[in-house]
Amino acid sequence: MTTRRALLRMVAGTAIAGCATASTHDVDAELARLHRRLRDLPAEIVADDESYWAVVRAGYDVDPRVVNLNNAGVCPTPRSVLEAMKAAWDAGNPLPAHTLLRVQEKKVEDVRRALAAFLACDPESLAITRNASESMATFALGLPLAPGDEVVVTDHNYPRVLQTWAQRARRDGIVVKTVSPASEASDDALFDLVFSAVGPKTKVVEICHVTNVLGRVWPVARITAEARRRGIVVVVDGAHAVHHVPLSIEGLGATHYAASLHKWVGAPVGTGLMVLGKDRIREHFALMPPPANLEGDIRKFEETGTRPAAPRLAILEALRWQESIGLARKRARLSRLRSRITDRLRGRSDVRVLGAAGEEQAPGITYIALPGRDPKVVTARLFERHGILVVGVPAWREPGIRISPNVYTTTTDIDRFSEAFESVLKETS
């Protein structure tokens, strides 16, 4: 009987596997051949063997000296995306007053339409920003709120977002109410906790789609539906959701959605988006005052002064790259890598894996609490002595480290982390 591993090897081959210097053309050609052969195989089979993922890895410029397990912070950009960005930059540089402002800016509209199709939303509700933080700041500082109006947030939110709401409270006298969900709260518990804080003065509820520490997927559609029934706006931080979990803006019922594209999409650093319901654009203030003719146009949120078009134009290649792999294969692979980490930790009493388990959760983020240890010491030793990059979270309620591999990560990388981590645990016990 043919094993799943042998089956994949038969269809995948090893033409450029392990070749870190393969050209973009070679990688694309090999992936195209593989995808034609693999299209009828379940994602779980593709996830199990390194031969396919070695070809994917060849599409990245990977530093062999370091195992990068902080892809949730900012992810390396595939080489083809960098090449697309450089080509656009080179084309616009000789005559930017014409090529950049008159030609390339018009081409950004193609990117808007592609992103809208990717997310299942209206392109006239989507603005291309620099990152999720900018998008969330636009929501937090631009929503029409009066003194005494209440905003409900959670301490699972990204710190910069909480800081933005705090500034709005100091500046305009709004009231920010913070709830603290348990690390392993159920969907019902999350829903009940949010609405336990909602009162007659509540105007906004702000939640993460995927939390940045735990990788917890929130019941956004359910919360949004109930909030709409009560006349409350829901602002959703989707920084870790796009091409990490299944996503449809229309399906979520989201009218205020923010995301970064330099995380799981692998677009150039400095690319993000915000989605705002078309009926809310006119009343919503932009971070920079737009021309009067743009007051009702989503593009008013892109009026941030002169900026390069090249990173935004390269988003198209990032979408092509991710769609060629496919979300199902990507999630299956990340789940395998996560299990390889957590299975090895099972039974240890000195660490604790936090976050909800399950197929619907975000498989690219694993959080390991370190009782009695300083995460800063652990992360420093992992990097300086073993060449392992993870992020420490000392300020979380249970201090620990966050691990986030990506599609170019190998099982050898994961084993290298596990061995180094066990060594550091012994040193810091």
Predicted confidence band at 161 (pLDDT cuts at 50, 70, 90)? very high
CA pair distance 367, 391, nearest whole angstrom: 10
Lowest-confidence segment of 3-7, 77-81, 113-117, 412-416 by average pLDDT = 3-7
| Last residue of one domain, picked from the residues 284, 319, 354 | 319
Predicted confidence band at 401 (pLDDT cuts at 50, 70, 90)? very high
Reply yes or no on whether the pLDDT at 404 is more than 50. yes
| Last residue of one domain, picked from the residues 250, 285, 319 | 319
**315 and 420 share one domain:** no
**312 and 375 share one domain:** no
**287 and 176 share one domain:** yes
Reply yes or no on whether the pLDDT at 159 is more than 60. yes
Predicted confidence at residue 359, as pLDDT, reads 75
**165 and 266 share one domain:** yes
Predicted confidence at residue 15, as pLDDT, reads 44
Contact between residue 47 and residue 330 where contact means Cβ atoms under 8 Å apart: no
Reply yes or no on whether the pLDDT at 126 is more than 70. yes
Predicted confidence at residue 13, as pLDDT, reads 47
CA pair distance 70, 389, nearest whole angstrom: 6
**220 and 270 share one domain:** yes
Reply yes or no on whether the pLDDT at 349 is more than 90. yes
Domains in the chain, number = 2
302-345 tens-digit pLDDT: 999 999 999 999 999 999 999 999 999 999 999 999 999 999 99
Reply yes or no on whether the pLDDT at 19 is more than 60. no
**48 and 101 share one domain:** no
Predicted confidence band at 21 (pLDDT cuts at 50, 70, 90)? low
Reply yes or no on whether the pLDDT at 360 is more than 60. yes
Predicted confidence band at 356 (pLDDT cuts at 50, 70, 90)? low
Contact between residue 213 and residue 367 where contact means Cβ atoms under 8 Å apart: yes
Predicted confidence at residue 96, as pLDDT, reads 95
| Last residue of one domain, picked from the residues 293, 319, 345 | 319
Euclidean distance between the first and the last CA atom of the chain, given in angstroms as a whole number: 47
Reply yes or no on whether the pLDDT at 388 is more than 80. yes
**309 and 332 share one domain:** no
Reply yes or no on whether the pLDDT at 201 is more than 90. yes
CA pair distance 150, 46, nearest whole angstrom: 48
Q: Give the chain's mean pLDDT.
A: 93
**71 and 95 share one domain:** no
**38 and 136 share one domain:** no
% pLDDT > 70, the chain = 95
274-311 tens-digit pLDDT: 999 999 999 999 999 999 999 999 999 999 999 999 99
Backbone angles phi, psi at 82, to 5 degrees: -60, -40
Backbone angles phi, psi at 55, to 5 degrees: -70, -40
Cα atoms in the 13 Å half-sphere on the side-chain side of 291: 6
Its domain, for residue 413, covers 4-76+328-427
Reply yes or no on whether the pLDDT at 98 is more than 90. yes
Predicted confidence band at 39 (pLDDT cuts at 50, 70, 90)? confident
Residue 13 burial by Cβ neighbours in a 10 Å radius (0-12, 13-18, 19+): middle
Reply yes or no on whether the pLDDT at 180 is more than 90. yes
Reply yes or no on whether the pLDDT at 395 is more than 70. yes
Predicted confidence at residue 16, as pLDDT, reads 53
- Please give the model's pTM, rounded to 2 decimal places: 0.93
